[in-house]
Structure 1
Amino acid sequence: MRDYHWLHEYCLNRFGSAAALEAQLPQSKSADELRAITDDRYLSLISLRIFRAGLKHSLVDAKWPAFEEAFFGFDPHKVVLMGDEHLERLMHDQRLIRHLAKLGSVPRNARFVLDVAQEKGRFGTLIADWPVGDIVGLWRYLAKYGNQLGGLSAPRLLRMVGKDTFIPTDDVVAALRAQGIVDKAPSSQKDLAAVQDAFNRWQADSGRPLCQLSVMLAHTVNH
């Protein structure tokens, strides 16, 4: 694999200046900021991520105020009590995206949020305290214990809430393949560990968060 110096120089040449490069890079939240996000906001963001999957984001976002109303502001203590009959009624609410499996994921993830909060005090503690050096472990945890958070949903959710993570988008995977780190989109524990190790090395060399390294790596792919 190529070192961080190569990655940085490539991106500098592509954008023309350090200022132009920095303007393209995302920022992650601090651990304190992640802990401060309330459980209802985490449940709202989890649900937003699930509804965005496979749909135009602007369409989902425009409808989200109606979702906030229909799901009691995503208060997990209220949402967890929503049964099948309630969800069937929501299937007739024309303000919403009427996808039964996605609607059903909301009370299931409310239970997940409450279970974590019972153990750790609040859901944000799980997110804040998870070491970014094993961010793929947090992806697996979310996919295992949450509902409909497999594939790219977990890393995309973490980017939405502000947790530092890389995302194996098509461009990032193409760049990883070009550097011989993986030969396909990483899904096995072995491949995910190899990708995590590569990002950990770039982070150690640069001091940059994973989210910035991920975006920089994507820009090394020629379209």
Structure 2
Amino acid sequence: MAMNEHGARILIVDDEPQIRKLLKVTLQAHQYAIYEASTGEEGLGQASRIIPDLIVLDLGLPDMSGMDVLGRIREWSNAPVIVLTVKDREEDKIAALDSGADDYVTKPFGMGELVARIRVALRHMAKSTNEPLLRIGELTIDLAQRIVELKGERIKLTPTEYDLLKVLASNAGKVVTQRQLLQQVWGSNHNESDSHYLRVYIGHLRKKLEEDSTQPKLIVTEPGIGYRFLSRE
């Protein structure tokens, strides 16, 4: 799906009128087309009618769980979903991400942060193509040849390092949970108990890709949750 970030259709599903008003005013100022819903069922109906480019979804809805709304949306749509939650527990964030959310913001939140995350999600969606080349900043990944170049210089990676980088870079800007990474790189029989694999190989990638592996700016840790590949655009 190719789309222009400006004019993108954003559906806000939140039962708090003040939050919806704040989001609507702010996002309309950034030239987004805003649609609103105050319940889960209304949100699902709106989503099926307008086919939004991005959904901002509150997990605390009055009629049904936001997680159930997310699950039903993911049955037919791959539109980015940014979850709003007052729950600050790692397990709640992990559950949302594992269920198909693209990102999360904890209430209370700064509008600048939310708008930035919306921009990243829309850029990522706009770049979702079948092209064999993945370009993120100064990094180029040839998916057909499994070749990685940084600033025009080829980077030698092991097969596991490459597979891990591919998953992270393909989801640039998004939090990828430990479970998602372990299962996509090492297989479905792996879970968080094998997180030591991730720490070792993330360390290898940082040494090969970061200017200073002790202060990573490309592959950052989301403590207790997973990792986020930052697009330096």
TM-score, reference length from structure 1: 0.28
Larger strand share, 1 or 2 = 2
- Of Structure 1 and Structure 2, the greater helix share is in 1
Structure-2-length-normalised TM-score: 0.27
